[in-house]
Amino acid sequence: MFGRQERVAIILLIAVAVAVIVAHVVLVQIGKGPFASVYSDQSADGTLVSLSGNIDQVTALSNGGHLMLSVNNVTVFIPAAVAGDRAFARGTPVSLYGTVQTYRGKKEILVSSADDIVERS
């Protein structure tokens, strides 16, 4: 049988595991919205941002199926794994979440999940 300290350790481990699972479920339900700020030219690299608007331009990159969108004159990079078989059209209204990064001296938003870009009606 377990000693007192071992029982306490097991109970603490179970409590921590339950707390982590509950936190995960709650955060998934909340989504990224409360943690994202609206994109601006002053958004720092690494910041989680949201952006809504119409797609101005869609460019399929020749190296690996990645997509570049221009939404409200902001460059949005969508890796091939995130884009999948989705097709985006000019003029389509979208809402998205992503991380700000600077590529070749220009700020862009990197979308990291297919769930982070939603076409609006």
Instruction: Assign residue 70 the CATH number of its domain.
Output: 2.40.50.140
Q: Does residue 74 share a domain with residue 41?
A: yes
Q: Does residue 22 share a domain with residue 1?
A: yes
pTM above 0.85, yes or no: no
Residues of the domain holding 5: 1-30
Nearest to 78 by CA among 95, 93, 62, 98: 98
Q: Does residue 50 share a domain with residue 17?
A: no
**CA Rg value for the chain:** 20
Q: Does residue 66 share a domain with residue 88?
A: yes
Residue whose structure tokens are 């979208």: 94
User: Average pLDDT of 29-45?
Assistant: 92
The band of 2, judged by pLDDT with boundaries at 50, 70 and 90, is confident
Q: Does residue 18 share a domain with residue 48?
A: no
The band of 17, judged by pLDDT with boundaries at 50, 70 and 90, is very high
